[in-house]
Structure 1
Amino acid sequence: MIAYLDTCTILNLLQINYDDEYIKYLIKSFDEIKLTPIVFEELVTNKFVNVLDDSHKEILDNIIFQQLQSYIDREDYSDSLYFTKKRNNNCFKENGESHSVSYSIKLSRYGKNDFGENLLKTHFISDDSPAKKDFDHFYQINVIGQILNSIDLMTIFWLKQYITKNQLIKYCHSLKQLYSKDVGILLAKLRDYSNKFVDALKSKQKIIITQLIEILSDLKEDINDKLSEIISDPDFKDVLRKNRDWKELLTNIQKSNFREKIPYINKRMEDLEKVWELV
């Protein structure tokens, strides 16, 4: 199997744990992994988005430049880029997703020993839902392979016994938080505050903060309703007055469109019961 990866997928794999664990499993799972040049450019440009700890920046730089750079596919794909753009002019963009699809279609037509050897074996890994929607049919009718996402990758790692089912579920929860930087920031602040001022907080305030941590740790579609209920609580309002930066974070979370991704991720976690594993 061959895998082309887009920028958002790579960043998700790296920023969940800030190490190369999932990159190593990716290399073990596929015969070849590839990045288009434009994906690597996007990766360098966006590598520190959502990074809260400066110490993580060096880790990302080391993995990106010392490991991932060697997987850039530098062959000439101008013909398949032209074809993909011509046949998808309504959605083709000069970005990593469109280029990855274009590179995949050409590579699928070749192989080590015969033409078409890579048909159905060349996969595009993308956590960009709009890109999947745009190119899914095109990818299918060209019998290239599948458009997968990082949860699919984690499922592969689980079935290959590189990770446990619990680690896969943990990844899904972490992915939801990663889509909203403000959730991660607020969680860190809440935990820090509850530890430092545990003796000063009223019993009701401790309960409310614990509830808020639980809501943010297990994001569901009704998060806005739950947050509104907590924000309106008089006991929480007293705490909020002493932590004004929390209010901005809560507002950002309620306004964020990351909630659109929650139903899909939660459904994937539920559907793990339908995935057969060797025991």
Structure 2
Amino acid sequence: MIAYLDTCTILNLIQINYNDEYIKHLKRLFVEIKLTPKVFEELERNKYDNVIDDSQKMILNGIIYNNLKNYIDFEDFKKELEFTKKHNPGIFKENGESYSISQSIMNSRYGKEDFGEHLLKTYFISDDAPAKEEFGYFYQINVVGQMINTIDLMTVFWLKQYITKNELIRYCNSLKQLYNKDLNILSIKIKEYKSSFDKEITPKQHIIITKLISMLSDITEEFKNDFYEICNTPEFRVILKKNNDWNALINRIKESQFREKIPYIIKRIKDFKKVYSID
């Protein structure tokens, strides 16, 4: 089997725990792993977007260059690129997802040993839901293989006994946090404020802060409404006046699209517990 990865997949697999554990499992599962040059360009450009601690940058670079640079596929696939553009007008973009789809088609049809040897065996792994929705049917009618996300991948890792059931659930919960860097930064700032000014915080403010910290560490489907409610309380507005740098973070969180992904992740966790009897 062949696996094509896009940029968000790579970063999610690495930044969940900042080690190469999941990359190693990926190598065990697939015969070949491939990255288009476009994906690697995006990786170079965006790799620090969710990094909070500068010490993590060196770890991230080490994992990328030691594990993934050799998987860049420089094959000429201009015909497949034009084919994908032609049959997906208005959808095709100059990005890693569109290029990966094109290159997946080529490799599924022209194998090393036999024509079409990788049909139905070429996987595109992406956490980009719009790309999966837009290209899913195109991928299917060209009998390339399957488009899966990293939660699907973790499920396979669990079924293959590479990871435990608890690790599977932990990945899903961590993914909720990873989708928005600003959530993590705000949580850190609030905890630091609580620790430094605990004696100055009123009982009501203490309740509000504790509730907010809990919300930021365990995102639920009700997060949007609860977050708005807390931010508008008189107690929190008093705290906010003393921490003006929080305003930009809060505004970005309110405008972020990450909330659209949270219900999906929560549903997957519920399904794991129900279908696979995971506690």
Q: Distance in 2 between matches of 1:226 and 1:150?
A: 28
d(CA) in 2 for partners of 1:230, 1:277: 35
1:198 aligns with 2:193: no
Q: Which residue of 2 aligns with 1:155?
A: 155
Map 1:60-71; keep pairs closer than 5 Å: 60-71=60-71
Contiguous gaps of at least 5 residues in structure 1? none
Q: Which moved more, 1:191-200 or 1:249-258?
A: 191-200
Amino acid at match of 1:136: G
- The residue aligned with 1:87 is 87
Q: Which amino acid aligns with 1:216?
A: L
How far residue 127 of structure 1 moved from its aligned partner, in angstroms, is 1.1
Greater CA drift, 120-129 or 235-244: 235-244
Counterparts in 2 of 1:101 and 1:277: CA distance versus 1, 3 Å: farther
CA-CA distance at 1:112 after TM superposition:
4.6
**Residue 275 of structure 1: how far off its partner (Å):** 4.4
Structure 2 counterpart of 1:164: 164
Q: In structure 2, what residue type is equivalent to 1:229?
A: E
Match of 1:268 in 2: 268
Q: Following superposition of structure 1 onto structure 2, how do residues 79-118 of structure 1 map, counting pairs within 5 Å?
A: 79-118=79-118
Q: What amino acid maps onto 1:133 in structure 2?
A: E
* Whole-angstrom CA distance in 2 between matches of 1:62 and 1:168: 25
Contact 2:4 2:34 in 1 (8 A): yes
Partner of 1:209: 209
Where 2:261 maps in the other structure, the secondary structure is: helix
TM-score by length of 1: 0.92
Cross-structure match for 1:177:
177
Q: State the AA in 1 paired with 2:39.
A: V
Query: Alpha-carbon deviation of 1:149?
Result: 0.8
Contact persistence 1:173–1:217 (CA under 8 A): no
CA contact (8 A) 1:109 1:119 kept: yes
Contact between 1:221 and 1:263, CA under 8 Å: does it hold in 2?
yes
* C-alpha separation in 2, matches of 1:93 and 1:231: 37
Mapped contact 2:35–2:72 kept (Cα < 8 A): yes
Equivalent position SS for 1:33: strand
Letter in 1 for 2:41: E
Aligned 8 A contact 2:224 2:259 in 1: no
1:159–1:277 Cα contact (<8 Å) kept = no
Tell me if the contact between 2:100 and 2:124 (Cα under 8 Å) persists in the aligned partners. yes
**1:142-180 CA-partner distances (Å, limit 9, x unpaired):** 111111111111111222222222222222222222222
Give the aligned residue type for 1:226: D
Q: Which residue of 2 aligns with 1:232?
A: 232
Question: Which residue does 2:125 correspond to in 1?
Answer: 125
**Which residue pairs with 1:2 in the alignment?**
2
1:44 shift after superposition? 0.9
**Change over 3 Å in CA distance of 1:236–1:277 after alignment to 2:** closer
Q: In 1, are the aligned partners of 2:80 and 2:105 still within 8 Å (CA)?
A: yes
Q: Deviations over 1:179-231 (max 9, x none)?
A: 22110101111222223333443333222211111111222233232122222
Q: Size of the alignment, in residue pairs? A: 278
Unpaired segments ≥5 residues, structure 2 = none
Specify whether residues 93 and 233 from structure 1 end up closer, same or farther in structure 2 by C-alpha distance, changes over 3 A only.
closer
- Aligned residue for 1:166, secondary structure, equals helix
Distance 1:163 1:191 in 2: 32
**3-state DSSP class of the match of 1:134?**
helix
Q: CA RMSD in A?
A: 2.0
Q: 1:270 to 1:195 in 2, by over 3 A?
A: same
Which one-letter code corresponds to 1:110 in the other structure? Answer: Y
Q: Give the TM-score of the pair, scaled to structure 2.
A: 0.92
Tell me the secondary structure at the aligned position of residue 123 of structure 1. Answer: strand
Contact 2:3 2:30 in 1 (8 A): yes
Which stretch of structure 1 is more off in the superposition, 17-26 or 164-173? 164-173
Bigger drift between 39-48 and 110-119 goes to 110-119
SS of residue paired to 1:244: coil
Cα deviation for residue 277 of structure 1 reads 8.1
Secondary structure of 1:124's counterpart equals strand
- Show the counterpart of 1:43: 43
Q: 2-side partners of 1:207 and 1:167: how far apart?
A: 31
Quote the Cα distance in structure 2 between the aligned partners of 1:68 and 1:194.
41
For the residues of structure 1 that align with 2:213 and 2:70, how far apart are their CA atoms?
41
